[in-house]
A and B are shown apart, each in its own frame.
Chain A
Amino acid sequence: MPLINDTGFIADSWVRVSEESTLFAEQIIIPFAQFEEAAAANIKKIGVHVANTVKPTELVQYFAKLDLISIDFPNFADGRGLSIARSIRKAGFIGELRAFGPLIADQYAYARSCGFDTIEVPEELAARQPEGQWKDAGKSLSLSYQRGYMHGKNILNQRSIHEAASRTGAV
């Protein structure tokens, strides 16, 4: 399915492996339940796909062995995956975080802020919302009020910088 990051639509070097298929590729995304099996099979890079009901704390012990975590979005209005991403990043995961499901372009900046690197969307949705819309949406709000999130220039931090600068006469 189409994959999006900050540069636009990109080729996907990962292969999703369903529960029935055997493990064959070099970089595979498997259901979380199959992780042990894949780890034993000596595969180069392993990613897991998790439901949006997963407890982030259960994933922490696998972080070092995982190059990618894919979080399921059953529909775009279900924001649970955003909290999971945020918790996973908070817990120190540095691999690729991927949102999987029908997120819309308008959510791109939010997903990036919460820690996602890539979004994998259905073909139908990518056809309606081509690359340009994702790039525009990513830039539409250049400022944010929440500290500790990743996207956009943070207004509170900017104010602190201005305040400190004006105190020292630097403005």
Chain B
Amino acid sequence: MNALQPRSNSAPHMYRYDAFDAQFVRERVKQFRSQVERRLDGSLTETEFKPLRLMNGLYLQLHAYMLRVAIPYGTLSAVQLRQLAFIADRFDKGYGHFTTRQNIQYNWPKLKDVPDILDALADVEMHAIQTSGNCIRNVTADHFAGVADDEIEDPRPTAELLRQWSSAHPEFSFLPRKFKIAVSGAEHDRAAIKVHDIGLRIVKNDIGEIGYEVILGGGLGRTPMIGHVVREFLPKNDILPYCEAIMRVYNSFGRRDNKYKARVKILVHETGLEQIRAMVEAEFNSLDKASIAHDPKELERIAAQFANPVYDRFAAKFNDLQTQMDADPEFHLFANTNIASHKAQGYSIITVSLKPIGGSPGDASAAQMRVLSDVADQYSHSELRISHEQNIILPHVRTSDLYSVWQALKAAGLATANAGLITDIIACPGMDYCSLATARSIPIAQAIAKRFESAAEQHDIGKLGIKISGCINACGHHHIGAIGILGLEKSGIESYQITIGGDPTLTTAIGERLGPGFAADDVPDAIAKIVDVYKSTRTDGEAFMETYRRIGTSPFKEALYAAH
């Protein structure tokens, strides 16, 4: 077999494993199978086994093991999604949970089944490698990559290069703490790159060369910090040596005495940006770059596989969308919120909301996954994306097909018209599943969604992101929600702190806390009060964040806490 021939069982417009990738993943599965056996026969202690299983995505949760599967840079084929559905049915309880880091989690696998699940994933060129543990995690990217109309370059080839480079890295698999990398190639940041350990922004310099702006030391968790630009322009071919330099500095000097101070953001903060930059650059300059860097042809080889499908030129002739919207008010609502503009004329990007009113944010049943696979096969070149907002994207839909796709989605309960609205809530699994959680998240999201159930009201409120975390680890990204909710536990009672003004885009901001926490039952009322302040203060067409920036926190604080 020619090692460079892509194998043939998933969509053609994304990276395909060659024989090396396939062998690597199979060997990793076999290695994990033997690690499980060696745990069971006592060769490995639980302490020794823990990082090994975590580096294969396996957590021990409240009720059972949880397996977190990587969806690198959020790109997924219909074949792969069908396999995720199969795994949900065969090894779990018939559903999966999509996370804020472009992963899918299964909440009920049995330890003995996990190696078989990993083999089933390898069958469709997927894995659970480094979705957890103190290593370089699944590399994420803009979920509109390759189709966004504001893109300089598709970030996924870079993300794939980094996925490979970081896989089973001999030097950087026992870091002080987890390490997350996100890549964006567009003017707008849809990958939250400023709150990652490394954020890479593809930029053009003065003479038109494409390279990376490197942002270091962002992160959420208990000490939220916005990343700093450590290198304004890094030539493309230096990406691996530069990352190696950053990682070596972090591995050598990151704190290991306190796990809450072990992320690179703390190292940057305590050492100072200038000093860190000097250390990284010194390490970088000491490297024999030619022996570390990728062959530019390798990035070309990867990029070629992400080439867009050939779009139909005549698709642009379709101009009945407005008529279809006018004829069907329900479709109209959907089109207003869940459709984004595509770089090819006559095509659109659909966001399929996994936030039905009363549902668990990010959950999809096996049946829904199959419907989405079929829809993708029929209408979206067999390709889907997972967004960090926990929704599913159909990236290549002809605008003339939008109405048919909407009908198919509606029949499967997947046409919730709320993308970006107040009920499109990001939430971590919280105390219903997670052993770290200090409070519930899902029921809070459900109660808020119920409160704002009316489509008319949601659309009137407009764009407003709510993000909920069930503990200070901030998996629900509450710090960067326009409204953020953090569930804590105070003497046995759940208490929810509310922040406002968080922003995940290039104008990144950490939300400001409004005051003391609320009991679970009082959260929907508190959110309603915040919304009322906005509605009564906004000027024509002003979005929530714009009003907030204009009036500040005081009116909101007053509405929530002033004695009545």
> Interface residues, chain A, CB within 8 Å of chain B?
76-80, 82-84, 86-87, 90, 104-107, 109-111, 113-114, 128-129, 133, 136, 140-149, 151, 155-156, 158-160, 162-163, 166, 171
- Interface residue? B558 (CB, 8 A): no
Report the separation of the CA atoms of residues A159 and B256 in the bound assembly, to the nearest whole angstrom: 38
Q: Please state if B27 and A147 are interface contacts (CB–CB under 8 Å).
A: no
Q: Please state if A156 and B27 are interface contacts (CB–CB under 8 Å).
A: no
A residues less than 8 Å from B21 (CB atoms) = 155
Q: Please state if A159 and B20 are interface contacts (CB–CB under 8 Å).
A: yes
Given contacts A83-B252, A140-B34, A145-B24, 4 further A-B contacts (CB under 8 A): A129-B38, A147-B240, A147-B294, A160-B295
Report the separation of the CA atoms of residues A98 and B23 in the bound assembly, to the nearest whole angstrom: 30
Contact of B293 among A79, A147, A163, A166 (CB under 8 A): A147
Q: Please state if A83 and B248 are interface contacts (CB–CB under 8 Å).
A: yes
> Interface residues, chain B, CB within 8 Å of chain A?
2-4, 18, 20-21, 23-24, 27-28, 30-31, 34-35, 38, 42-45, 48, 51-52, 134, 164-165, 167-175, 240, 248, 251-252, 256, 286-288, 291-295, 297-298, 301
What are 30 A-B pairs with beta-carbon distances under 8 A?
A: A76-B48, A79-B171, A79-B173, A79-B175, A80-B252, A80-B256, A82-B251, A83-B171, A90-B286, A106-B44, A106-B52, A107-B174, A110-B170, A110-B171, A128-B44, A128-B45, A143-B20, A144-B168, A145-B24, A145-B165, A145-B167, A145-B168, A146-B169, A146-B292, A147-B294, A148-B291, A159-B3, A159-B298, A162-B3, A162-B4
Report the separation of the CA atoms of residues A162 and B295 in the bound assembly, to the nearest whole angstrom: 12
Q: Please state if A82 and B171 are interface contacts (CB–CB under 8 Å).
A: yes
Report the separation of the CA atoms of residues A80 and B52 in the bound assembly, to the nearest whole angstrom: 18
B residues less than 8 Å from A105 (CB atoms) = 43
DSSP majority for the A interface? helix
Report the separation of the CA atoms of residues A81 and B491 in the bound assembly, to the nearest whole angstrom: 42
Which chain A residue has the least Cβ–Cβ distance from B133? A77
How many A-B pairs fall under 8 Å by CB?
Answer: 128
B residues less than 8 Å from A86 (CB atoms) = 171, 248
Q: Please state if A149 and B171 are interface contacts (CB–CB under 8 Å).
A: yes
Contact of B24 among A80, A104, A114, A155 (CB under 8 A): A155
A residues less than 8 Å from B294 (CB atoms) = 147, 156
A residues less than 8 Å from B168 (CB atoms) = 141, 144-145
Report the separation of the CA atoms of residues A78 and B177 in the bound assembly, to the nearest whole angstrom: 10
Report the separation of the CA atoms of residues A87 and B171 in the bound assembly, to the nearest whole angstrom: 11
If the complex has contacts A149-B170, A156-B294, are A163 and B301 also in contact, measured as CB distance less than 8 A?
yes
Report the separation of the CA atoms of residues A129 and B252 in the bound assembly, to the nearest whole angstrom: 28
Tell me, rounded to whole Å, the shortest Cβ–Cβ distance linking B266 to chain A: 16
A residues less than 8 Å from B256 (CB atoms) = 78, 80
Report the separation of the CA atoms of residues A16 and B35 in the bound assembly, to the nearest whole angstrom: 33
Which chain A residue has the least Cβ–Cβ distance from B165? A145
Contact of A133 among B38, B252, B301 (CB under 8 A): B38
A residues less than 8 Å from B35 (CB atoms) = 106
If the complex has contacts A146-B169, A147-B292, A163-B301, are A140 and B30 also in contact, measured as CB distance less than 8 A?
yes
Q: Please state if A78 and B174 are interface contacts (CB–CB under 8 Å).
A: yes
Q: Please state if A171 and B2 are interface contacts (CB–CB under 8 Å).
A: yes
If the complex has contacts A146-B165, A159-B301, are A104 and B170 also in contact, measured as CB distance less than 8 A?
no
Which chain B residue has the least Cβ–Cβ distance from A75? B47
Report the separation of the CA atoms of residues A82 and B30 in the bound assembly, to the nearest whole angstrom: 25
Report the separation of the CA atoms of residues A76 and B51 in the bound assembly, to the nearest whole angstrom: 10
Tell me, rounded to whole Å, the shortest Cβ–Cβ distance linking B67 to chain A: 19
Which chain A residue has the least Cβ–Cβ distance from B18? A159
Q: Please state if A143 and B251 are interface contacts (CB–CB under 8 Å).
A: no
A residues less than 8 Å from B288 (CB atoms) = 90, 148
